[in-house]
């Protein structure tokens, strides 16, 4: 008896979107033990500073990975839309960007600006994970690299919980430090909507759909790995952390 051939027909739009969203429900880093501790107010000042300092490296690399994606994209209209992400993080003459807002967060939790800019507390595991993401976006087809950004589908819920947690449990953090999180409440849905429509449109074969799902899973795993490194250094083995 011959074995049945695998179904290689493209998923319907609804099933494809559901598969992408399922990645977040299963793997997004909002469920990581470190985030759970943060949202319950269980982190001390040093642990919170460690997270801010290490996450800053990721923030600095976001416009670099987006520039890498654009360098592979031959379509002007897509580039014109996607470049807004770079502006959102780098800022311009009229608007403060996400990197500057994260520097304000660093100052609000007590980290000197120069220390953040010099990545003085950067853990090797965090650097490795973030660099892997930039390399992924540089080497993958541009629309597959863009699909990895669909973690933004799940970000607004995380940001809302984070803002509430900071206000309730960490009142010593200055209000200016929350500007980045508040900005992402509107930026992330806008970006996710564009990326989702693009992913559904361009990933029309089952093979490309599976590549997009795998790219999103890779991004979720990467964000989880960042928190693994921070959790190990600042919660499980704090004596060795800077």
Q: Hey, what are 9's tokens? A: 């027909």
- Closest by CA to 105, choosing from 163, 191, 30, is 163
d(CA 83, CA 192): 14
d(CA 225, CA 231): 10
Q: For 75-93, write each residue's pLDDT tens digit.
A: 999 999 999 999 999 999 8
- Phi/psi at 9 (nearest 5 deg)? -70, 145
Which conformational region is residue 86 in: left (phi greater than 0), alpha (psi within -120 to 50 degrees), or beta?
A: alpha
pLDDT at position 242:
65
- Closest by CA to 133, choosing from 212, 84, 62, is 62
d(CA 69, CA 82): 9
Q: For 165-217, write each residue's pLDDT tens digit.
A: 999 999 999 999 999 999 999 999 999 999 999 999 999 999 999 999 999 99
Q: For 113-156, write each residue's pLDDT tens digit.
A: 999 999 999 999 999 999 999 999 999 999 999 999 999 999 99
Residue range 30-236 in CATH 1.20.910.10: yes
Q: Hey, what are 158's tokens? A: 């995380």
Burial class (CB in 10 A: 0-12, 13-18, 19+), 83: middle
Q: Hey, what are 241's tokens? A: 């952390």
Q: For 226-242, write each residue's pLDDT tens digit.
A: 999 999 999 998 776 66
The DSSP-derived string for 59-104 is HHHHHHHHHHHHHH---HHHHHHHHHHHHHHH--SSS--HHHHHHH
Q: Structure pTM? A: 0.94
């Amino acid at each position: 008896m011959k074995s049945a051939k695998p179904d290689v027909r493209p998923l319907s739009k609804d099933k494809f979107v559901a598969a992408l969203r399922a990645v977040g429900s299963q793997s997004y880093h909002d469920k990581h033990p470190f985030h759970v501790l943060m949202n319950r107010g269980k982190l001390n000042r040093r642990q919170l500073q460690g997270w801010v300092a290490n996450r800053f490296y990721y923030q600095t690399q976001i416009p670099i990975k987006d520039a890498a994606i654009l360098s592979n994209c031959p379509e002007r209209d897509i580039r014109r839309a996607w470049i807004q992400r770079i502006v959102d993080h780098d800022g311009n003459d009229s608007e403060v960007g996400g990197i500057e807002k994260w520097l304000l967060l660093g100052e609000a939790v007590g980290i000197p600006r120069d220390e953040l800019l010099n990545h003085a507390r950067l853990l090797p595991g965090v650097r490795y994970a973030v660099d892997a993401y930039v390399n992924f976006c540089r080497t993958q087809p541009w629309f597959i690299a863009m699909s990895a950004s669909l973690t933004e589908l799940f970000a607004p819920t995380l940001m809302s919980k984070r803002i509430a947690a900071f206000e309730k449990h960490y009142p010593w953090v200055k209000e200016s430090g929350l500007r980045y999180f508040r900005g992402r409440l509107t930026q992330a849905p806008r970006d996710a909507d564009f990326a989702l429509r693009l992913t559904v449109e361009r990933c029309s074969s089952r093979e490309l759909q599976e590549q997009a799902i795998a790219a999103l899973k890779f991004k979720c795993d990467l964000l989880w790995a960042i928190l693994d490194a921070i959790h190990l250094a600042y919660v499980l083995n704090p004596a060795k952390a800077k």
